[in-house]
């Protein structure tokens, strides 16, 4: 047990002195009661045999000591419990900082994007390489589990990659690799099948905790390698949706901090409240003020993990929003943002009625960067069935900032694939990242107010401190190239062109305020 409502059990280092203090308290109070009892016993027995009196005193003292011992044992055992989930002997001091980073993408077959010479690593290859490396443990957080396309009969031909990955996960058992899964739902066929193959599954009931959803999606392998990105454990992520993420190898320092986020979720299993006091084992190791210094492909860089919602930020953990602020504020020449939805609104329900508010936290830093610092901003948003019509208005408002201003550039394009009849996720740009001239933020959320306020997500901030020695490209340059490829593609249209479509969309039957609190397993619904 890592979480604890008991302040004495806060952590390893604090528990020891607290435990001693407690024991000495127990000792002194039992001693005084021993003395009192001893005194009354003395009164009663004064006329009796003095030896008997001494024996009795000894008995009481022994009893008190036994009690003390029992209390001590209870404390020790509960402490062991708290310390339980060990970090494999790797500490902040001797973890590995010499890491390799690879950009992984899933590009649906029917999107033709010219790569100008650069090859991306397919997401499925990234996942398989992580599983190849696994020797002890694979830890996965994903709200959706539908690799085997259980909801589709007959199974679509594009579902093959998902099935392959599912088979690999099933076969971990035979290699003696432990599979640990955090999901928001556990009553899912796929998780049942994995559980039957020794996977340990924990559920985080987001409804009870924040009335939100779990959007977090990341992997930790052997506490050494990690994946983070936009993909879920959904066959669509490996076939028809456009996804982007990174795999970082041999990076136990970063994996250690991701594992702390994992532990946080792990401990929320079956809870309907968030404890106010947490074990030190979930305290953030790195953050926006003290980022991890590491090497990414032999190039000096810094990195840290951020999370949301605020309620899910354990001690010292940077909020996703603060991470985004920092990256935008430190940009000097450009900011490229690629997200599925952009909407500065938040909707919350108070006593049954829902209230919509303007949510300016990201909008305002973008405006500041564009108007006051002359940073060039490009925003690539997806135009799909669930695009809120108000998106166009907020985007128009952003664009109008630059009217009659020199040295001001804010461009917006909408990414959309051909009309989808049977599956609106086909060719959807599901990316969720931002890249600037000196940093990148890869997250699990779309840039929608409600996402950050109630939904659980994780982000990774990367900052380069030098250019590569061998003259190669950094991960930032690869991200920028991926963004520019999408931006120049025929699928990225400017809002003016999307206007006709917009009118058509207004006539569509909108799912009521779909950007609101997400329905559970939104992506899993039969389409």
Ligand X SMILES: *[C@@H]1O[C@H](CO)[C@@H](O)[C@H](O)[C@H]1NC(C)=O
C-alpha span between 396 and 411 (Å, rounded): 10
Task: Please identify, among the stretches 65-73, 202-210, 393-401, 451-459, the one whose residues bind ligand X according to the rule CB under 6 A.
Answer: 202-210
Q: Is 208 in the site for ligand X (CB under 6 A)?
A: yes
Q: Give me the least distance between CB of 481 and ligand X, in Å please.
A: 10
Whole-number Å distance between alpha carbons of 262 and 140:
8
C-beta of residue 2 within 8 angstroms of C-beta of residue 84: yes
Task: Please identify, among the stretches 100-108, 356-364, 421-429, 495-503, the one whose residues bind ligand X according to the rule CB under 6 A.
Answer: 100-108
Binding residues with ligand X: total (CB under 6 A) = 24
Is residue 407 a contact partner of residue 369, using CB atoms and an 8 Å limit? no
User: Given candidates 39, 40, 49, 89, which one binds ligand X under the rule CB under 6 A?
Assistant: 89
Binding span for ligand X by CB under 6 A among 164-172, 384-392, 471-479, 513-521: 471-479
Binds ligand X by CB under 6 A, chosen from 456, 475, 482, 492 = 475
Site residues (CB under 6 A) for ligand X, limited to 241-260 = 249-250
Asked if 478 is part of the footprint of ligand X (rule: CB under 6 A), the reply reads yes
Nearer to ligand X, 215 or 319 (CB): 215
The smaller minimum CB distance to ligand X, of residues 450 and 524, is found at 524
x/- contact string, 379-408, with ligand X (CB under 6 A)?
A: ---------------------------xx-
CA distance 331 to 265: 32
Task: Return the closest-CA partner of residue 296 out of 470, 445, 107, 435.
Answer: 470
Least Å distance between CB 205 and ligand X? 4
90 forms part of the interface with ligand X (CB under 6 A): yes
Residues in 259-298 at the binding interface with ligand X, rule: CB under 6 A = 272, 297
Q: Which residue lies nearer to ligand X by CB, 62 or 207?
A: 207
Q: How far apart are the first and last CA of the chain?
A: 40
CB-nearer residue toward ligand X: 151 or 290: 151
Which listed residue (373, 418, 488, 506) binds ligand X by CB under 6 A?
A: 373
Query: For 227, phi and psi rounded to 5 degrees?
Result: -130, 140
CA distance 342 to 387: 9
Please report how the helices 160-170 and 123-133 are oriented relative to each other, as an axis angle in degrees rounded to 10: 10
Residue closer to ligand X by CB (options 320, 486) is 486
Alpha-carbon Rg for the chain in angstroms = 28
The least CB distance from residue 117 to ligand X, in Å, is: 13
**Which candidate, 239, 500, 515, places its Cα nearest to that of 387?**
515
Phi-psi region of 333 (alpha: psi -120 to 50; beta: other; left: phi over 0): alpha
Q: Between residues 249 and 487, which has the closer beta carbon with respect to ligand X?
A: 249
Q: Count Cβ atoms within 10 A of the Cβ of residue 411 and give its class: 0-12 exposed, 13-18 middle, 19 or more buried.
A: middle
Contact residues for 342 (Cβ-Cβ < 8 A; gap 6+): 379, 381, 391, 394, 395, 446, 447, 448
201 counts as binding ligand X under rule CB under 6 A:
no
Question: Residue 356 pairs with which residues in a beta bridge?
Answer: 347
**Nearest distance from C-beta of residue 405 to ligand X, angstroms:** 10
Cite the beta strand spans of 325-482 per DSSP E. Answer: 334-339, 342-343, 345-350, 353-358, 376-382, 410-415, 432-436, 439-443, 447-448, 457-464
Nearer to ligand X (CB atom), residue 145 or residue 491: 145
What is the DSSP annotation of 22-59? HHHHHHHHHHHHHHHHHHHHHHHHTTS-HHHHHHHHHH
Residue 473 within binding range of ligand X, rule CB under 6 A: yes
Q: Is 42 in the site for ligand X (CB under 6 A)?
A: no
Q: Give the nearer residue to ligand X in terms of CB position, either 272 or 500.
A: 272
Residue 310: name the closest of 456, 442, 446 by CA.
456
Q: How far is the CB of 26 from ligand X (least distance, A)?
A: 31
Indicate whether 207 belongs to the interface with ligand X (CB under 6 A): yes
By Cβ distance, which residue is nearest to ligand X?
A: 374
Does 330 contact ligand X by CB under 6 A? Answer: no
Q: 443: closest CA among 431, 429, 458, 454?
A: 458
In the bound state with ligand X, the residue whose beta carbon lies nearer, of 338 and 474, is 474
Out of 35, 62, 91, 329, the only residue in the binding site for ligand X (CB under 6 A) is 91
Which DSSP helix (H) or strand (E) runs through 506? helix 495-507
Q: Cα–Cα distance between 241 and 334 in angstroms, integer? A: 27
Does residue 469 touch ligand X according to CB under 6 A? no
Q: Which stretch binds ligand X (CB under 6 A): 21-29, 41-49, 205-213, 301-309?
A: 205-213
Positions that interact with ligand X (CB under 6 A): 89-91, 94, 100-102, 187, 205, 207-208, 249-250, 272, 297, 373-374, 406-407, 472-475, 478
């Amino acid at each position: 047990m890592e979480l604890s409502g008991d302040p004495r059990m806060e952590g390893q280092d604090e528990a020891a002195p607290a435990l001693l203090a407690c024991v000495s308290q127990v000792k002194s109070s039992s001693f005084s009661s021993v003395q009192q009892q001893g005194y009354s016993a003395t009164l009663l027995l004064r006329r009796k045999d003095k030896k008997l009196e001494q024996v009795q005193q000894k008995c009481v003292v022994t009893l008190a000591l036994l009690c003390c011992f029992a209390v001590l044992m209870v404390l020790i055992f509960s402490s062991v419990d708290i310390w339980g989930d060990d970090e494999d002997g790797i500490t902040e001091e001797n973890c590995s900082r010499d890491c390799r980073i690879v950009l992984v993408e899933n590009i649906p077959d029917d999107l033709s994007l010219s790569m100008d010479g650069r090859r991306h690593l397919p997401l499925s290859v990234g996942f398989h390489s992580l599983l190849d490396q696994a020797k002890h443990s694979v830890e996965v957080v994903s709200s959706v589990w539908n690799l085997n396309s259980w909801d589709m009969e007959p199974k679509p031909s594009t579902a093959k990659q998902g099935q392959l990955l599912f088979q690999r996960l099933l076969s971990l058992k035979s290699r003696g690799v432990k599979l640990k899964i955090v999901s928001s739902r556990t009553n899912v066929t796929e998780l049942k099948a994995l559980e039957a193959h020794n996977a340990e599954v924990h559920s985080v009931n987001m409804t009870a905790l924040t009335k939100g959803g779990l959007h977090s999606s990341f992997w930790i392998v052997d506490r050494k390698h990690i994946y983070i990105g936009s993909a879920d454990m959904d066959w669509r992520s490996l076939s028809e949706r456009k996804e982007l993420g990174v795999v970082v190898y041999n990076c136990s320092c970063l994996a250690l901090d991701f594992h702390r986020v994992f532990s946080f979720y792990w401990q929320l299993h079956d809870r309907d409240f968030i404890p106010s006091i947490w074990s030190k084992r979930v305290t953030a190791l790195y953050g926006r003020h003290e980022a991890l210094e590491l090497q990414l492909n032999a190039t000096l860089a810094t990195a840290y993990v951020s999370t949301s919602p605020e309620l899910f930020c354990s001690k010292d953990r940077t909020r996703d929003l603060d991470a985004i602020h920092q990256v935008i504020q430190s940009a000097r020449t450009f900011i490229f943002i690629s997200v599925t939805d952009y909407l500065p609104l938040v909707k919350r329900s108070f006593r049954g009625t829902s209230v919509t508010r303007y949510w300016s936290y990201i909008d305002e830093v973008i405006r500041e960067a564009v108007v006051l610092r002359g940073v060039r901003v490009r925003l690539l948003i997806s135009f799909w069935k669930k695009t809120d019509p108000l998106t166009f208005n907020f985007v128009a408002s952003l664009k109008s900032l630059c009217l009659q201003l020199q040295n001001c550039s804010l461009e917006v394009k909408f990414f959309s694939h051909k009309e989808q009849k049977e599956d609106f996720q086909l060719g959807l740009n599901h990316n969720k990242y931002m890249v600037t001239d000196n940093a990148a933020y890869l997250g699990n959320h779309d840039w929608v107010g409600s996402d950050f306020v109630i939904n659980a997500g994780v982000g990774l901030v990367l900052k380069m401190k030098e250019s590569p020695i061998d003259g190669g490209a950094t991960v930032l340059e690869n991200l920028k190239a991926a963004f520019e490829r999408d931006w120049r593609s025929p699928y990225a249209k400017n809002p003016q062109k999307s206007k006709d479509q917009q009118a058509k969309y207004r006539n569509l039957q909108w799912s009521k305020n779909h950007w609101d609190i997400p329905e559970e397993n939104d992506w899993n619904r039969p389409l």
